[in-house]
Every structure is written in C-alpha cells, then in structure tokens.
Amino acid sequence: MIRVENLVRKFGDFTAVDHISFQVGQGEIFAFLGPNGAGKTTTIKMLTTLLRPTSGTLQIDGLDPAAHPHEVRKRFGIVFQDPSLDQDMTAYENMELHGVFYHVPRKLRVERIELLLRLFELWERRNEQVKLFSGGMKRRLEIARGLLHTPKIVFLDEPTLGLDPQTRNQLWSHVKKLNQTEGVTVFLTTHYMDEADRVAQRIAIIDHGKIVAQGSPQELKQQTGKDSLEEAFLAFTGSTIRDESANVSHDQLKAMARMWGNRR
C-alpha cells in the first residue's frame, strides 16, 4: 500500500529525511516511531502530498503523490499532529465541511457525524465554536473528523498527544475495528511505546532522518534483548533529549496572532 525507497528531504543544508526505505502492506497497522525532530512528520507530509521529496521514490497505492496528488488524496485520511480545525466554526460545521471535502453522501454524512461525535463525547457541544473547546476536546474533534470518511489509508500523526487514557482507549479500539472490518491500512506515529506495542503489527524506528530498526514489536524486543518496547526504543535511539529546530517565521506569526487576538 505504501512503498518508500531512498526518500530524501532537505531543508537548505539540513537533511530531515535521509535515504529511508520501507513498505507498508495493505490492511497493516504500521507504527513509525522516533524521537522529536527525527523526521516523522516530514515523512508524513511527503506521503500526504504536502511536501515534495528532494529525491527518492514514493508510492501510495501504486501512485506517486507528487505526480498524482489528487488521486492520492482520495485514498487517505489524516489526523495531523498540529491543530487543523477551523476555530470559528462549530464542531458540527467542521465535521460537515470535512464530509463535503471527502464526498461523503449526505445521508451517510449525517449518520457518521452523529456516531463519531457521540463516540468521542462531543455530541452535546456540537453547536459550539471550536475556539471555546478545551485542548482535549479539540484533539478529540480532530480525530473524529479524520475518521469521518473511510479511506484506504489513515495517517495518525501523534493522535493521542495530550489525551486522557479513556479517550486513547476509545481511539485505538475504533482504529482497530476500522482495520479489521474495513481493511483500512493505518500509518501512525506516537511517543507512547505501550500504544505502539499494543496496536501495531510492524514498527520502523527513525532517528536523525535514518531508519535504525524495522520489525514487529516482538522482533525489536528480541533484537535488543529487552522486555519492553520502550527499552528497545531507547536502545536503538539512545537516551539524549532532542531539540526540534525552531521555525522563526512560524513563531513570529504565532506571537502576532496572539497579539491580534485570534482575529482570523
């Protein structure tokens, strides 16, 4: 379903993704793990048509995202790591807009919106503007929205960041169900190793833009001789803390946006 060969992405002199190769089979749950700044999100952006690779080849369902962005976009759904909701719209309107974007027929759209908003306990507050929501509620809405249509592949970029155990549990059961009943391929990243261990069938670990290990959770533990995936992960990537390079213009814009009080 996903084929990546010798993929490279540079930002100026900095190589964020450095000749990585991996494959994800149809119906597989694949976890892409790595410390902060390792290149996970950059890889997801290239897979989801948001960034062009510097070199290397990419295929989603046999198609190159750079050459056939529109066809590729029909095949996946994504929950982004950063917020991507329209804060001025209500929860329901955000869901509805997404349903129209992904051509979910009206009747099915209404049904699924209710189902998902109830599942993630947002139904009671569906007519409130998203900017009034707490961080956890926004996150839940992002996830509910990402699952509204049933794509061939779902990308989940740290979906459980900042969520309580109850919601995490809901999310993973729902994702597993989608995977089993609809055969949806899942590509996820997370910093919670227990989640990866529980959900993923196969794992790749990326560090400094290079893939340092690949295999099932069991295999990774065996290779390092550790009992838990967390220990295995630390054995592969070391225990120093990473800094993500700050994006200057992004931060300035953020400061400005705060000053202007979320005007737009």
Partner 1 sequence: MSVIYVLWLRELRRYVRSRAQIVASLGQPLLYLLALGFGLGPVFQKAGQGSYVQFVAPGIIAMTVLFSSIFSGMGLLWDRQFGFLKETLVAPVPRIQVMLGRTLGGATVAVIQGLLVAVVAFVAGFRAVDLRSLPLALFFMALIASLFAALGTAIGSTIQNIQGFQLIMNFLVLPIFFLSGALYPLNNLPRVLGLITSIDPLAYGVDGMRTTLIGLSHFGLTADVAVLAVVAAALLGIGSYLFSKIEV
Residues that bind partner 1 (CB under 8 A): 45, 48-52, 70, 73-74, 76, 78, 80, 82-89, 93, 96-98, 100-103, 106, 129, 249, 252-254, 256-257, 262-264
Nearest to 144 by CA among 133, 194, 88: 133
Q: How far apart are CA 88 and CA 97, in angstroms?
A: 13
Q: How far apart are CA 238 and CA 258, in angstroms?
A: 37
Q: CB-wise, 100 or 108, nearer to partner 1?
A: 100
Task: Give the strand order in the sheet containing 14-24.
Answer: 14-24, 2-11, 55-60
Nearest to 262 by CA among 26, 111, 83: 83
Q: CB-wise, 32 or 155, nearer to partner 1?
A: 155
Q: How far apart are CA 172 and CA 197, in angstroms?
A: 12
Minimum distance from residue 109 beta carbon to partner 1 (Å): 10
Minimum distance from residue 247 beta carbon to partner 1 (Å): 10
Minimum distance from residue 225 beta carbon to partner 1 (Å): 41
131 secondary structure, DSSP code = G
Minimum distance from residue 181 beta carbon to partner 1 (Å): 23
Q: CB-wise, 80 or 133, nearer to partner 1?
A: 80
Minimum distance from residue 221 beta carbon to partner 1 (Å): 35
Where does residue 263 fall: left (phi above 0), alpha (psi -120 to 50 degrees), or beta otherwise?
alpha
Q: CB-wise, 246 or 263, nearer to partner 1?
A: 263
Beta-bridge mates of residue 188: 31, 156
Minimum distance from residue 165 beta carbon to partner 1 (Å): 26
Query: Looking at 63-146, which runs of residues are DSSP E strands?
Result: 76-79
Q: CB-wise, 45 or 202, nearer to partner 1?
A: 45
Exposed, middle or buried by CB within 10 Å (0-12, 13-18, 19+), for 201?
Answer: middle
Q: CB-wise, 49 or 185, nearer to partner 1?
A: 49
